[in-house]
Amino acid sequence: MSESESSCQRIDGLATSKALYAEYKERVAELKEKHGQAPALAVILVGERKDSQTYVRMKTKACNEVGVEPVEHTLPEDVSEAKLMEVVAELNADPKVNGILVQLPLPKHIDADKVVQSISPLKDVDGLTEANAGNLFRLGMKGRFIPCTALGCMLLLKRYNVPLEGKHAVVIGRSMLVGKPVSLLLQSENATVTMCHSRTKDLPSVVQQADIVIAAIGKANFVQGDWLKPGAVVIDVGINAVDDSTKKAGFRLVGDVEYASAVKVASAATPVPGGVGPMTVACLIGNTINAFELAHKN
């Protein structure tokens, strides 16, 4: 490790998520004692996609780790949209279920957005419904259920005491799940935010001005170290597979930022894997606990 590299702080999403799980475990234990039941997260998996199965497994494992009850619903690949909507409606009505997650993508014959929008906003722990988008638009970090990856980025910045007020944040990517919500959240924390995307001209010069860079475009090693302002903080949301014959799997995971060159310039950066990824799952669990508290408030 070179001298310059060692001066870049590693923003450790894995360690941060573990700290969150420890807090969640305590909160769940308290809630269980108070209300006689644990928060429950329903996870709906349609079909047998290997990647989706892996994600569902990670999520149920995280539930188990903190004492949240996972309620798995596995439906066949050819399930009808109507049947799937019915399952969501039943879970919406079930007072024992606090969070509902539909693992995406869904098979092509199903209108995924229609299904997702039918989730009760009070159980939409992924923050995907229009109602919760509007809530975030209005309330920022005080929003009801903030999309997990966007929230994960914010919690990393907060846990690492990265100042936001008056800082210039550049967000690359404008997805519903990350770019757009994280832009509004950074703004609600008093950062000046520039929202960039595929049509942005001369992106390197825009990034050059950023105190904080959030990269969420899904392009391997796209943002180069020499684009960064010295001392910038980099949050890399990308998880991209690139060919690597030295690995057993034949590939390795890299972010949207070229890590090796970035750490020579940045003051702090998230690695991939081990950065935002683990935070996303942790935030899902956090949102589920919040949903339980919301349901038991009255």
**Contact footprint for a copy of itself (CB under 8 A):** 129-138, 165-166, 168, 174, 176, 180, 183-184, 187, 190-197, 199-201, 206
**Element spanning 52, H or E:** helix 50-66
Comparing CB distances to a copy of itself, the nearer of 176 and 260 is 176
Give the whole-angstrom CA distance, residue 296 versus residue 298: 6
Cβ closest to a copy of itself, residue 20 vs residue 233: 233
For residue 59, the one-letter residue type is: K
Q: 196 forms bridges with which residues in the sheet?
A: 172
Q: In the bound complex, what is the minimum distance in angstroms from residue 145's beta carbon to a copy of itself?
A: 12
Among the listed residues 12, 124, 126, 211, the single catalytic one is 126
- Confirm if 217 and 256 have CB atoms less than 8 A apart: yes
Question: Smallest distance from the beta carbon of 217 to a copy of itself, in angstroms?
Answer: 14
Taking the complex as a whole, the smallest distance from the CB of residue 194 to a copy of itself amounts, in Å, to 4
Active-site residue 126, yes or no?
A: yes
**Quick check: is 51 catalytic?**
no
Closest to a copy of itself by CB, 26 or 130: 130
Q: How far is the CB of 131 from a copy of itself (least distance, A)?
A: 6
Distance CA 98, CA 292 (A): 5
Say whether 208 is catalytic: no
> Among the options 12, 103, 124, 256, which is catalytic?
103
Measured from the CB atom, the residue of 83 and 197 that comes closer to a copy of itself is 197
Residue type, 193: V
* Torsion sign across C-alpha atoms 88, 92, 93, 94: positive
Residue 95: how many CB atoms within 10 A of its CB? Answer: 9
Q: What is the Cα–Cα distance from 16 to 75, expressed in whole angstroms?
A: 34
Residues with catalytic roles: 59, 103, 126
